[in-house]
A and B are shown apart, each in its own frame.
Chain A
Amino acid sequence: QKATKQQTTDTTGDTKEPYKIGAVVSATGPAGPLGEPEKKTLEMIVEQINKDGGVDGHQIELFIEDDESNPTNATTAVSKLIDEKGVIAIIGGTTTPSTLAMKPETAKVKVPHIAMAAGIKVTEAPNEWIFRTAQSDAIAVQKVIDYLSKTLKVKKFAILHDSNAFGQSGATELQGRAPGAGMEVVGVESYKTEDTDLTAQLTKIKGSGAEVVVVWGTNPSPAIAAKNMKQLNMTIPFVGSHGIANKSFITLAGTAADGVVFPAAKILVPASAAGEQKDAIDKFIADYTAKYAEGPNSFAGHAYDAIHILVQALEKAGSDNEALRDAIQETQGFNGISGIFNYGADDHDGLKTSDMIMVEIKDGKWTEKK
């Protein structure tokens, strides 16, 4: 924050007023592993843009608030950003509950809002002011459903999901879409993010006649599940969620990670992307790795897409809130990390199932599963 303040004083001369942008992420708390790369990405991209002369000569002043994965904090953070800092647009939050808590706030004061959370409700009506860059759970789930019914051709599967928002939303969607694809969900088990052992849930699933187990959650539990399945000698396929699209899963699960398949953004296997999107992904990976000495994950990608879409719209429409909102809504063919975005009046998600791929872990490496 200090750094950005200094910029304001530096730019009081003949340059234009800076654009103030606010972001709310879960940099700490249970969603910290998701929010932190988002925060890092936002900082990095804004620095890049400012170095390149900003947006039409306006520097970007970025204010990031950490909601500690708690929606109560998210609501006050939004107010702080809008009312105290005077930001013209909001990015965030990381988790669905936080985002849902922010949604009425931004709508009330009519500030364009780009979310990075996956829950379906995020962009459900009323959604005049909110957009998102994360693949909606609907897309990830559809990807998995397609994989199960078309590639694996199974009839029965079981769900093991985190009891948090991410897991619950995924499980609900899976259950909703299975019958349509001619499949039956024979078991739904949940766990708490911190649980130390999942053999009990898996034992139940083992007895349910499931042909596949779909695990919907973020680290470390899916890794524990993979290990526990090995322990219980369960040989049915393990299909994960995009929540395990990071190196951490492979490290934690070790050999048990082999053969695990999950939906993910193309950033995981850059080769799966093509053309301009591939260039963007490659550059992002290179920049991020250079700056932070570790590779970006798909969550970092959500932040990348959010800030870039916003900047594009700012370039087009300036800072007037109505105009900015319309400009975001008119985003077409934006080559983002998570996919190629085409927003529209009735589509504030902008992505399609084809923006995701199924990834398989082989010998500790990600490969695209065709």
Chain B
Amino acid sequence: MQFDQLLQFIISGITSGSIYALIALGFTLIYNSTQVINLAQGEFVVYGGLIAVSLYAGAGLPLFAAVLLSIIIVTLIGVVFERLAIRPLINHSIMTLIIVTVGASILFKNIAMIIWGRDPLTIPAFSGDDPIMFFGASIIPQSIWVFGITMVTVVLLQLFYKKTITGKAMKACSINQTAAKLMGINSSSIVLLSFALSAAFGAIAGVLIAPISMVSYSMGGFLGLKGFAGAVLGGLGNPIGAVVGGILLGILESLSIGFIASGYKDAVAFLILLLVLFLRPSGILGARIKEKV
């Protein structure tokens, strides 16, 4: 294997991995406020992309305006979803809430099918399609956007959790709602905030990948799966873990295309994920929680 080929595999891996990472961050946010895995996370991504397509190609807005507006609209969708479906159940079991997100993903997905049809759609790349060469390997500018924004978000998110009291309050809500209330934390608005942010992150991922991988109504499940896998691999609840996990997953896939067989790439990636979990049951960077008895 030549160096530039290997490098290209790694870059390919980082390209899809950053997408997984960005989606994994969305999972992290909601997990950190409710311990719920939001199985509709992929739908936020899809809506981000599709709404941007409509605003850009349909309504004729400038690209960046369309992108921005799309993120705002999806954030609102996240807010409405939280108020209508999550809030009434916040004191119930996590499994119940997860099934609500299953319901939401089915609902969102099929509404998208009715609105946008079955064919995939796309928007232009933010800064052109001309690849950038890097030691014989090539990258498209959009991938750099994805990677860059993922990095910026993870830094901001990490600061949010480590440095701000709101970030800590968010975690507090997921650990013990009653105790959070007793601290004077308005858990209702904190959870709402996490859904809003998570929807926004999803939408950001959606608008970023629309030019690379196109968007279609049915992609949500797949993207959600990859994001979830990335989040778990890195250690649930840890933003850095989410990014490490997501990117690692992407690289694993692409290396198994390079060295094993492309048909087995997901199998290899999941196999390694399982091995990692069996050795580190809380993911790569996840904390092992032990309660005193």
Contact = CB atoms under 8 A, between A and B. Distances in A.
Contact of B8 (A163, A203, A252): A203
Contacts of A224: 212-214
Contact of A248 (B119, B213, B266): B119
A185 interface: no
A28 B122 contact: no
Interface residues of A, number: 36
Interface of A: 28-30, 32-33, 36, 163, 189-192, 194-197, 199-201, 203-204, 206-207, 219-220, 223-224, 227, 230-233, 246, 248, 251-252, 254
A199 B8 contact: yes
B257 A197 contact: no
The size bracket of the interface on B is 35 or more
B185 interface: no
B212 A196 contact: yes
Interface of B: 2, 5, 8-9, 11-13, 15-16, 19, 110, 113, 118-122, 129, 131, 138-140, 209, 212-214, 216, 218-219, 222-223, 253-254, 257-258, 262-263, 265-266
B218 A30 contact: yes
A153 B253 CA distance: 34
Given A197-B15, A197-B16, A207-B5, A220 B214 contact: yes
Contacts of A227: 129
Nearest to A219: B120
Nearest to A199: B12
Interface centre among B129, B138, B257 (most CB of A within 10 A): B257
A254 B211 CA distance: 11
Contacts of A191: 262
A33 B254 contact: no
Given A33-B119, A197-B15, A232 B129 contact: no
Contacts of B254: 199-200
B213 A203 contact: no
A232 B13 contact: no
A194 B265 CA distance: 13
Given A32-B118, A204-B257, A196 B262 contact: no
Contact of B19 (A36, A196, A199): A196
Contacts of B223: 194, 196
A252 B113 contact: no
Contacts of A248: 119-120
Contacts of A204: 5, 257-258, 262
Contact of A199 (B15, B120, B129, B265): B15
A200 B12 contact: yes
A52 to B, nearest CB: 30
B258 A200 contact: yes
A4 B99 CA distance: 37
15 contacts: A29-B218, A33-B119, A189-B257, A195-B213, A196-B15, A197-B15, A199-B254, A200-B12, A200-B258, A204-B257, A224-B212, A231-B139, A246-B119, A248-B119, A251-B121
B122 A251 contact: yes
A232 B262 contact: no
Contact of B12 (A28, A203, A246): A203
B136 to A, nearest CB: 10
A359 B110 CA distance: 34
A319 B19 CA distance: 55
B217 to A, nearest CB: 8
A231 B222 contact: no
A189 B218 CA distance: 23
Contacts of B213: 195-197, 220, 224
Given A33-B118, A220-B120, A252-B122, A231 B131 contact: yes
A232 B8 contact: yes
* 8 A-B pairs with least C-beta separation: A196-B213, A194-B222, A220-B120, A200-B254, A32-B118, A220-B214, A200-B12, A199-B12
Contacts of B218: 29-30, 32, 194
A308 to B, nearest CB: 25
Contacts of B16: 195-197
Contact of A28 (B15, B113, B253, B258): B113
B2 A201 contact: no
Nearest to B122: A252
Contact of B140 (A192, A196, A231): A231
Contacts of B139: 231
